[in-house]
Amino acid sequence: MIEITLPDGSIKEFEKGATPMEVAKSISEGLARNVISAKFNDITVECSTPLTKNGSLTLYTWNDKEGKKAFWHSTSHIVAQALEELYPGVKLTIGPAIENGFYYDVDLPEGNISEKDFPTIEQKALEIARGKHDFEMRDVSKSDALKFYKEQGNEYKVELIENLEDGSITFCDHDTFTDLCRGGHIPNTGIVKAIKILSVAGAYWRGDENKPQLTRVYGISFPKQKDLTEYLELLEEAKKRDHRKLGKELELFTFSQKVGQGLPLWLPKGAALRERLEQFLKKAQKKAGYEMVVTPHIGQKELYVTSGHYAKYGEDSFQPIRTPKEDEEFLLKPMNCPHHCEIYNTRPFSYKELPKRYAEFGTVYRYEQSGELHGLTRVRGFTQDDAHIFCTPDQLDQEFKEVIDLSLYVLGSLGFEDFTAQVSVRDLENPEKYIGSVENWEKAEQAIINAAKEKGLDYVIESGEAAFYGPKLDFMVKDALGRHWQLGTIQVDYNLPERFELTYKGSDNEMHRPVMIHRAPFGSMERFIALLLEHTGGNFPLWLIPDQAIVLPVSEKHEKYAEKVLKSLENNEIRALIDNRNETVGKKIREAEMKKIPFMLIVGENDESSTTVSVRRHGGEDLGAISIENFCDLVSTEINSTLKSFKE
């Protein structure tokens, strides 16, 4: 007999060789019907894998992240079989599950796959799925595996196998199809009820532009047709909310090939919006005891060698700037923290003067590959709302919790209420990825976990997601479309103070190292604004939106009164404009709706005689005729209800 420990801590005995599916059946028939994948001792296994020793078992359904991963990976096999049958001579490479769905990279013998081919691929894949074929794993010797793919003429699989150790190679079979695979499948193909091919793209083999270009087929699948229908509706809504589309319509930002890829240009309305975000945070930071600093956009190469950033970003970033002086090199700064360390180093500090909190809206530069650039979410130059706190070890816990408070204030003020906290720690199996002592890493990781607990955050621990110099806490926000984004980060760092030899004099008159906290509630201004655009659909909070109201005179003879209304609004610090074009009021309203302007103030003869405005909200709600003073009060009340002062 073997003992199986379940997630709730209970232990059950089974005969040696029992499978995860048999364990599920012993719990309930309902669970067995829904289980689609499993992990045993943290290793992914099939539902049919015989369990031969004591261990911990976790069962997954479609509702679990790991369940979806197995579902989509299994579908990639089904689609690969469909491609083999539809495109004789196609060479398969890899087909992993991704965050939403899967892809499979293939080398086509000739021609290409276009959108018109999608229905045919989907139909063939569903036909295979309906056969309810079991996914079965089998061990294969390295020589047999190489022989199999050499006979197929598939040099890609041969290359993969050559890098694997004999005894660790497995194939997955279903129906007439075989693929090189590590495992992690649903029980059978019949569980897949809906398949959609989403797009095709070019992709270099192993991401190397010097290697052959393949065709990447993206797709997604579901256990019910209804789920696919809902997903496609969500995709359509996401297209409407695409920040690149809205940014153009709302005249916020643009890009220029002459300026360079990944280098956004902020238009007047976008620049004003950025400025309001900056002032909002600066006001809160001032209350929290931060001091603003300014650092240059470049620094000597040695600065980033000392910090470790050159080793991290140097080769894949912008190349050094050489000056007329021999051997003198500068870099566009990839991070602000080395500069802030040097600011701290300008004079000696006593423990009584700590913590020191330096904040900066600092622009940094990283050379992202052109294929990875995406609107404002992935750029080559971006501005971080960066701050670095230098404190004593005894102050670390309280300082970290206060940064959590500030981050929660920022997210709440901008409508991001649904989030989890992710504590990112080291990958213990790859210690070479990180700098600093094990002792300091352990202290830093524990400090973050303790703070998250004390603040009552809903948090998860993710191994291998830490920065190279220290662990961090990231806020994973769920937007209006149910998508998850990382917004805001707090990091504990014992390493840079060591590298820059930062010190303070303690109460014992001895010199000590401060602890450093890195903190950016927005993350980057560019990415934050992009996600805010998509979350709100361009309907920003009233306190932030570029134009809060637009005055629409009914005819030319009402323009003078419209100017008077505008002046009153401006005197009450309401951002407004006039549309005095020779167009119908209906057209002006439609265009104001397109521009997401919250209030439309229509002024005609009756309004002028009674000193009122006829107010229409974005979306069509008619508030009727009200005095200008009452309208200003309405705007003020609405702003005050959504924008509280920090630590109010």
First to last CA, the chain: 62
Kindly state the average pLDDT of the residues 475-504.
89
Q: Is there a catalytic annotation at residue 241? A: no
* Long-range contacts of 279-284, Cβ-Cβ distance < 8 Å, separation of 24 or more: 280/413, 280/543, 280/544, 280/643, 281/385, 281/410, 281/521, 281/522, 282/359, 283/645, 283/646, 284/406, 284/409, 284/410, 284/646
With CA atoms as reference, report the closest residue to 207 among 198, 218, 217, 216. Answer: 216
Is 77 considered catalytic here?
A: no
Q: Is 221 helix (H, G, I), strand (E, B) or coil?
A: strand
Instruction: Exactly one of 243, 472, 527, 596 is catalytic; name it.
Output: 472
Which one of 356, 518, 596, 616 is the catalytic residue?
Answer: 518
Q: Is 491 a catalytic residue?
A: no
Per residue in 259-273, pLDDT (tens digit) is 999 999 999 999 999
Averaged pLDDT for residues 429-450: 85
pLDDT band at 645 (very low <50, low <70, confident <90, very high): confident
Of 274, 357, 366, 588, the catalytic one is: 366
Q: What is the pLDDT of residues 141-150, one digit of tens each?
A: 999 999 999 9
pLDDT band for position 88 (50/70/90)? very high
388 is catalytic: yes
Among this protein's residues, is 518 annotated catalytic? Answer: yes
User: Where along the chain do the CATH 3.10.20.30 domains lie?
Assistant: 2-61
Dihedral angle over CA of 442, 445, 449, 455, nearest 10 = 130
Q: Could you give phi then psi for residue 542, rounded to 5 degrees? A: -60, -35
State both tokens at 407.
């981050």
**What is residue 154's three-state secondary structure?**
coil
Tell which residue, 522, 503, 505, has the closest CA to residue 513: 503
> What pLDDT is recorded for position 110?
85
CA angle 557, 560, 564 (to 5 degrees): 145
Whether 460 and 483 have beta carbons less than 8 Å apart is answered as: no
Contact present, 281 and 525 (Cβ < 8 Å): no
Report whether 518 belongs to an annotated binding site.
Answer: yes
Assign domain 2-61 to its CATH superfamily. Answer: Beta-grasp domain (3.10.20.30)
Decide if domain 262-295+334-536 falls under CATH 3.30.930.10: yes
Q: Rounded to 5 degrees, what are φ and ψ at 221?
A: -145, 160
CA distances from 327 to 299, 301, 322 (A): 14, 10, 8
Per-residue pLDDT reduced to its tens digit, 290-340: 999 999 999 999 999 999 888 877 777 788 899 999 889 999 999 999 999
Q: In the chain, which segments carry CATH 3.30.930.10? A: 262-295+334-536
Rg of the chain on CA atoms, in Å: 29
66-239 in CATH: which number? Answer: 3.30.980.10
384 is catalytic: yes
**DSSP string for 454-501:** HTT--EEEEET-SBTTB-EEEEEEE-TTS-EEEEEEEEEESHHHHHTT
Of 386, 474, 493, 579, the active-site residue reads 386
> Hey, what are 638's tokens?
């609405």
Of 69, 388, 535, 616, which is the active-site residue?
388
Task: Write down the H helix ranges in 163-267.
Answer: 225-240, 243-249
Q: How confident is the model at residue 136 (pLDDT cuts 50, 70, 90)?
A: very high
Residue 484 annotated in ligand binding: no
> Cα(529)–Cα(522) distance, rounded to whole angstroms?
9
Annotated catalytic, 174? no
Query: Which ranges constitute the DSSP H helices of 251-395?
Result: 268-287, 301-307, 309-313, 337-344
Q: What is the pLDDT of residues 557-577, one digit of tens each?
A: 999 999 999 999 999 999 999
Between CA 626 and CA 611 the distance in angstroms is: 9
Q: Please give the angle made by the CA atoms of 261, 267 and 268, to the nearest 5 degrees.
A: 160
Task: Supply the mean pLDDT for the chain.
Answer: 93
- Residue 337 is assigned to a ligand binding site: yes
At the topology level of CATH, where does 549-642 sit?
Rossmann fold (3.40.50)
**pLDDT (tens digit per residue) in 148-163:** 999 999 999 999 999 9
